[in-house]
Structure 1
Amino acid sequence: MAESYELFGSAPRVTKHLARKWYLVTNQRNLFFMLAAGLIMPPAGFGKKYYQDTLACAPGWIVLFPDRAPREAVQFSVQERSHLLPCLLETDLASITGEIHVITAEGYLSRAHLPDELQGDEQALLVPAPLPITLITTILHRSKEERSACESDAKDFTNVPLESIKRSVSAKPFSGASAPWIAARGTALPQRQIPLGRVQAAGAVMAMLLHFGNLGQQSVAAARMAFDAESSAASSDVDPLLAYLPQWMWSTPPHPPEEVVQRLFWGTADKLVEWRSSGVAADPLDVILDHFAEMGAELDERMNSTLSKLTRDLTNLAGIADRTATELFERHPKPFSRAMLLLFLRESCAELL
């Protein structure tokens, strides 16, 4: 049976053991990438931009040390390149509930439930990744010089909101005693395959719907469903195409949609996520057209004819179009077809804002 990680409870309680300072050990370049992505994530989420740090020691898990990080963990996180600077990310665990793993005082790996089952003498917590970057309360540096160097380095990246998080200097938390932070005895740590592509795609959907949230009743209802799985926005408030949005956003894996048009639309979203996650070089428009070709076998004659007509016009759009955008929208009046036309007519979502 799959493990359940109910990470964000509605009524968090802070126990005395949870109130300790818990640090993720990393380097400034990984910090920048996580700030840009908005996620504390495992190495798989970095692509080719990852520099070895403690996240590599337990793939799929975030290793947090209490009060002082082991010196070898700090060194491990900067040894790959000479320009790397160590950082400790103080993490607020008050809003997290559910099952985690801990390295006990005796060096054993054990299961525990947050927030009630911490003993207070754990050498490390292993929390399932990813987590939102908003849980980071403070970025800690060993010296003023390293803090200045980190801030200077961040200026080379326009999408790194370093100033959004408090930055402090203290050498003491970097000097913890040795601890079995790479390997522990006892129960083997379960491997976690993280669908980060889905997580990042869901974040992009939320960002776009936030921008579109004032454009009418449909957009308001869709934005509510994207941000709240228990939203009171009734399915009748939105087009049936969007009624599946909460399932796609909040269920892992989501139940397949019942309506054929929903399967076409959300299947297109899934195919694009799979393609981006795979790293395979391909034209996203070809990915969509290939999906349509696969779906053709599931459609009745009328819908297959409609999809074939749309496919021809989309193929022409990818080359030299023989119709204007207005003519195409008149030719394809349904929401699904118009959504696909917009996708082929625009280079990026930003052009729709």
Structure 2
Amino acid sequence: MAHAIRFKETGGPEVLHWEEVVVGDPGPGEVRIRHEAVGLNFADTYFRTGLYPAPLPAGLGVEAAGVVEAVGEGVTHVAEGDRVTYTGSPLGAYSTERVMPADSLIRLPDGISCETAAAMTMRGLTSAYLLRRIHPLTAGDTILLTAAAGGVGLIVCQWAKLLGLTVIGTVSSEEKAELARAHGCDHVVQYRREDVAQRVRELTDGAGVPVAFDSVGKTTFAASLASLRRRGLLVCFGTASGPVPPIDAMQLAIGGSLFVTRPALADYIADPAERAELAGELFGHVADGRIRIEINQRFALEEAAEAHGALEAGRTTGSSVLLP
């Protein structure tokens, strides 16, 4: 019998429940997939708490990898037996198997396991659009990256070095500082005991950085903004500490004609051709060993509540997966 994590009300990790579910046959444009690994992402907690609304009761999770067990009418780009990965709506990845739209699926190359794919599809594609689509970065540029030891952070650090960039990364502990350095972070700032913007100015001869990538949000927004050089860009791509506060447009002018964007992965992979291009570059780097995917935590799928607790408490580094 198939099982899934579901929730009937919003709240803490305790609202998550392991339930038996019925999985039918795929309809037109759909597939039935058996999951081998499920990705754990901070965005999952937003749905659970209600920050991101979802009709209740609901499943959870937007990323997983596994094997196609059946295809519906009209599905041609994947076939029964294919190993695939995906990220995006609809919710329901926290399950042993499910029926879902086939358009979301990306076929996996032989050199990448389902476990690795579940740990990197969302984080890797996020890293891809951040570095390859958001701003025309060139070799020699310096970037600021919050949560440099997180799942996206470790990928961005490695990819940035391939592009010839210098990375200033923020972390919360010496353990995370060592991890970030091991993955290519050039300068590590421990934000709990150092002034981030001041250190960035010191490291850039007073100029600041052209781009700051901020996945933390509420508690880091001001420092990231203050770290930018004239006409710099702040990329707010996550809200781990809470939503970014309202922006006073005049402060952007006073700070040096600054720019702010709040991108979403869905808008950078909506076009199948662009998604394929970003995925191809990502998978190529991983398969050839240029980018290492760190799976530092593994939880049984039925222990999703425990996994959420660890994630929200900052007890995780790199990527985490849930195993059915």
TM-score (norm 1): 0.28
Structure label with greater radius of gyration: 1
Which has the higher relative contact order, 1 or 2, with Cα contacts under 8 A spaced 6 or more apart? 2
The structure whose residues are more often helix, as a share, is 1
The structure whose residues are more often strand, as a share, is 2
